[in-house]
Homo-oligomer: A and B are copies of this chain.
Amino acid sequence: MQTKGAAAYSALREAILDGRFAPGSRLTGQTLADELGMSLTPVREALRLLATQGLVEHDPHRGTRVAPLAPESIEETYRLRRVLEPMACELAAQHATADDLAEIEAAMSAFASAVDDKRHDDLPELNAILHHRIYAAAQSPLLLEFIDRLWLRIPFQAMSLVRHQEQKTAEHQAVVTAIVGRRRKAAGRAMLQHITNSTQATLARAKAMEGGSDQEVS
């Protein structure tokens, strides 16, 4: 079983990304501890972790509040994604082991099947797994960690808007094919294209719902 600190962390993280806490609202330790059915200590730990990841802001002796996630921070996230994730794909095309490739293709099939079967609820998870496996194949732990940090800032939630899934599948397939074929530059270009397309959709959607919290992912 995971530690309570970890449990508190994921619970709070999910709650914040789901928008269950209004941005800027205060998070008092004891209250959260009561709600989560645990003591103050693990809750504090979770809050400190969230603070280092920028999801909450903490001032000594003054408390922690959920970070008001500015629209420009979404832009920042995607700017970094456009640089780091294609880079990871290039490295993956160079350095992926046979095992890596097998896992990537398995994740690709799983995603494609879910699209075919219209299992829309599974898509965010499968999408995340596919991306993560690709990046892991780059054999660059620090780069992987940075990318993970970026993904922490992408709220999953509903992800109910499942239009264009066929296009996303095609884009994913292009990336995977390039990596398996060891075509370094092509892999990077394909991922850049994929992210650019997603960005368009996300920013448009974010603007449309104006302050709404769920977004297009991947």
Q: Which residues of A pack against B, CB within 8 Å? A: 2-3, 6, 41, 44-45, 48-49, 52-54, 60-61, 73, 76-77, 79-80, 83-84, 87, 140-143, 145-146, 149-150
Given contacts A73-B141, A80-B142, could you give 8 more A-B pairs where the C-beta distance is less than 8 Å? A41-B41, A45-B48, A48-B48, A48-B49, A52-B52, A76-B140, A80-B143, A83-B87
**In the complex the two chains form, what is the Cα distance from A149 to B144 in whole Å?**
13
Interface pair B143/A76, CB less than 8 Å apart:
yes
Interface pair A60/B145, CB less than 8 Å apart:
no
Give the distance to chain B from A209, nearest Cβ to Cβ, in Å. Answer: 23
Residue from the list B6, B73, B77, B146 in contact with A60, Cβ < 8 A: B6
Query: With contacts A48-B45, A52-B52, A83-B83 known, is A142 near B77, CB below 8 A?
Result: yes
A-B contact pairs, 26 of them (CB 8 A): A2-B60, A3-B60, A3-B61, A6-B60, A41-B41, A45-B45, A45-B48, A48-B49, A52-B53, A54-B142, A54-B145, A73-B141, A73-B142, A76-B140, A76-B141, A76-B143, A77-B142, A79-B140, A80-B142, A80-B143, A80-B146, A83-B83, A83-B84, A142-B149, A142-B150, A146-B149
Chain B residues, Cβ within 8 Å of A141? 54, 73, 76
Query: With contacts A76-B140, A140-B79 known, is A52 near B49, CB below 8 A?
Result: yes
- Closest B residue to A44 using CB positions: B45
**In the complex the two chains form, what is the Cα distance from A44 to B44 in whole Å?**
11
- Closest B residue to A79 using CB positions: B140
**In the complex the two chains form, what is the Cα distance from A45 to B73 in whole Å?**
27
Residue from the list B6, B52, B53, B146 in contact with A146, Cβ < 8 A: B146
Chain B residues, Cβ within 8 Å of A73? 141-142
A52, A53, A150 — which one has the most chain B CB atoms within 10 A of its CB?
A: A52
Chain B residues, Cβ within 8 Å of A49? 48, 52
